[in-house]
Copies of this chain bind each other. A is one copy, B any other.
């Protein structure tokens, strides 16, 4: 079963309001095994809604429409659907009476436009709105299902979960569609694809590749009945894990920083960080994890040479001969921050995030990352040249630092 979601409302076309209804519905549909083929956001225009609905009915089995069911003049979904499928709107006297009672009980004045909400499309099933006054509807039209849902997220979610999902589940039987994400780092999108192609005939669903900075998400899919879908995903996952090894750092909700956090916790190791060009971003990401105080001792953002000297104890020799953006500076920062905070591991990031350089002649994007475990005498250092703007360089530096840390912890 393929679904299309149509969200109605001028306010959704301002870029200022997050359209949470579409992501809510997509996730719910997907976990019920229904694939969303397309989504549209449409203005409060009867003509536009009818046009988009007619296009959708040509290519999918299920159309979910949110919004435009309210009482005001710009609420036009009912009228548009009625016109599109050529079925008249009729007044539901019973619901009109309920509405009148509701308004009376709440001490509100019922205006004429509220009566609009008691109009239903001929042959449709009315869906109760437990929170607001706009009812929804399920309409069957030439073997296709059209669902009308209110726009306010709470009302929409309640109605969908209670009245729509059970109806849909009854229709789906054995046709689920499951997705699992494997998260990779240290390998580019195109090389990843080439490697996967080298496996020969990929007999599973096509993989989706999603690049995020230095990371690439691989989405694998499974269909059929639940058991078959899970088995397909498990097989595909096994092949990819064998092929990609340590390039895969996690799956689904896991992140690079949560993976590192889990590794540190499991080994009861602690961490401190010395940041120059990344400016606190690494500390910020680490401390977004609940419970990070168990393993994170703290950090120094040494944004000036003065701070590198006075707080991180970098020698004049390093600062003047090697420079603050150098392998030697990164090493000293990592080792010293490890000692100062009495931590097991010290991570150091120093580089040039731009837009201007430091006069040393090194290009913008040059970043040195060093990680030291002083108690154990472990040490790693790497030099990178990142492209992008200031923020991108900060993000990439932090991703690489976390990945080096991860690899040191699993090796």
Contact = CB atoms under 8 A, between A and B. Distances in A.
Contact of A304 (B130, B209, B282, B298): B298
A389 B286 CA distance: 15
Interface string A276-303: 0111111110111011110011111111
Nearest to A311: B340
A200 interface: no
Contacts of A41: 22, 38-40
Interface string A201-225: 0000010111110000101000000
Contacts of A311: 298, 300, 311, 340-341
Given A290-B354, A303-B292, A390-B288, A14 B219 contact: yes
A341 B279 contact: no
A17 B210 contact: yes
Indicate the size class of the contact surface on chain A. 35 or more
- What is the total number of copies of this protein in its complex? 2
Chain A interface, >50% SS class: mixed
Interface string A176-215: 0001010000001111011000000000001011111000
Contacts of A209: 70, 72, 74
The interface centre, meaning the residue of A152, A212, A283, A297 with most chain B CB atoms within 10 A of its CB, is: A283
A219 B189 contact: no
Contacts of A212: 152
Contacts of A48: 37-38
A392 B299 contact: no
Contacts of A73: 193, 206
A82 interface: no
A280 to B, nearest CB: 3
14 contacts: A13-B36, A14-B30, A38-B40, A38-B43, A44-B208, A109-B191, A113-B194, A114-B190, A272-B307, A287-B353, A297-B304, A298-B307, A299-B301, A300-B300
Given A13-B38, A73-B206, A111-B190, 12 more contacts: A11-B217, A71-B189, A131-B387, A154-B391, A272-B307, A279-B283, A284-B284, A287-B303, A290-B390, A298-B300, A298-B307, A300-B311
